[in-house]
């Protein structure tokens, strides 16, 4: 959609073209009427020429008046430069308000990240993490009571593992362009990050499995004490795995080799 300044200037140019057109037409028709009018009175064809010339003159005068009036108005200021980040944020917010917008954006981000990690050591753990995170998203709403903190821990761990995967992919790309004498050190850092990522994704998968076990046991009818015992065991397992994952995440950080 054109802004006020663009519309004003466009209308001004249009009026100028119209004034030139009607001025030329009025001059041509007026000259023709003056030349072709016989000295012994006006005939029907001459009246037509004179009427056309007079109408053209009037339209030219009106166009000139419109042009002068518009030209006297101040030109609206130029709009502020478009901030692409703000436009993108507004577009994302508008899409997220749609019924399936949030899920669609999440899937687009995952596909884009998966393509960016293609060919890297992080690609396979990232795919496993994606599958486990999708499963966890379906279970998170049912992790209530003593298992509630596990859902928050899973979300924090997922983001931490994704950051670790991106670091691994960055080191992978650096290895391809690094000088030969620096590659052994980068290879060691890459293997260390890959091992950390694999351990973290494995722990996250165990957390998802424990969450699924908790949800399954919670859904059973409490017809005897064995169901309560199994639910307690599932809760303890969930807490234990979540604690182990938190400990693993706290020990997962940039290594000296990776930072170099």
Model pLDDT for residues 183-229, shown as the tens digit of each residue: 888 888 889 989 988 988 888 888 888 888 877 776 665 555 554 55
Q: Where are the alpha helices (DSSP H) in 37-122?
A: 44-72, 84-96, 101-116
- Which whole number is the average pLDDT over 39-62? 73
Q: What tokens appear for 227 in the block?
A: 């169901």
Q: Checking phi first, is residue 190 left (phi over 0); if not, alpha (psi -120 to 50) or beta?
A: alpha
The string of pLDDT tens digits covering residues 126-149 is: 999 988 988 988 888 887 777 777
* Long-range Cβ contact pairs of 50-57 (< 8 A, separation 24 or more): 53/26, 53/29, 56/22, 56/25, 56/26, 56/29, 56/30, 57/26, 57/30
Confidence check: pLDDT of 67 > 60: yes
More confident residue, 43 or 177: 177
pLDDT of residue 113: 75
More confident residue, 31 or 208: 208
Residue 186: name the closest of 108, 257, 104 by CA.
257
Confidence check: pLDDT of 9 > 60: yes
From 19-28, 92-101, 179-188, the region with the lowest mean pLDDT: 92-101
pLDDT of residue 76: 78
pLDDT of residue 242: 63
Give the integer Cα–Cα distance in Å for 150 and 170: 30
Mean pLDDT (the chain) is 76
pLDDT of residue 259: 40
pLDDT of residue 46: 66
Give the integer Cα–Cα distance in Å for 121 and 189: 12
pLDDT of residue 15: 85
Contact predicate 198/122, CB 8 Å: no
Number of helices and strands in the chain (H, E)? 9, 0
The string of pLDDT tens digits covering residues 237-258 is: 666 666 666 666 565 554 434 4
């Amino acid at each position: 959609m054109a802004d006020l300044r663009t519309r004003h200037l466009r209308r001004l140019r249009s009026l100028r073209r119209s004034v030139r057109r009607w001025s030329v037409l009025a001059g041509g028709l007026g000259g023709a009427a003056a030349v072709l009018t016989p000295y012994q009175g006006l005939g029907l064809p001459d009246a037509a020429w004179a009427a056309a010339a007079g109408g053209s003159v009037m339209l030219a005068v009106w166009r000139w008046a419109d042009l002068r009036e518009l030209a006297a108005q101040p030109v609206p200021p130029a709009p502020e430069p478009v901030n692409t980040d703000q436009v993108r944020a507004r577009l994302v917010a508008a899409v997220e308000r749609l019924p399936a917008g949030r899920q669609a954006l999440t899937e687009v981000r995952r596909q884009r990240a998966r393509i960016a990690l293609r060919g890297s050591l992080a690609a396979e753990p990232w795919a496993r993490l994606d599958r486990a995170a999708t499963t966890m998203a379906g279970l998170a709403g049912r992790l209530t009571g003593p298992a509630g903190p596990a859902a928050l821990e899973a979300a924090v761990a997922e983001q931490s593992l994704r950051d670790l995967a991106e670091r691994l992919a960055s080191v992978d790309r650096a290895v391809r362009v690094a000088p030969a004498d620096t590659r052994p050190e980068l290879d060691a850092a890459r293997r260390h990050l890959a091992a950390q990522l694999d351990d973290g994704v494995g722990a996250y998968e165990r957390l998802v499995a424990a969450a699924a076990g908790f949800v399954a046991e919670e859904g059973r009818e409490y017809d005897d004490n064995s169901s309560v015992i199994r639910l307690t065991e599932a809760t303890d397992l969930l807490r234990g795995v979540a604690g182990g994952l938190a400990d693993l995440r706290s020990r997962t950080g940039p290594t000296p080799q990776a930072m170099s």
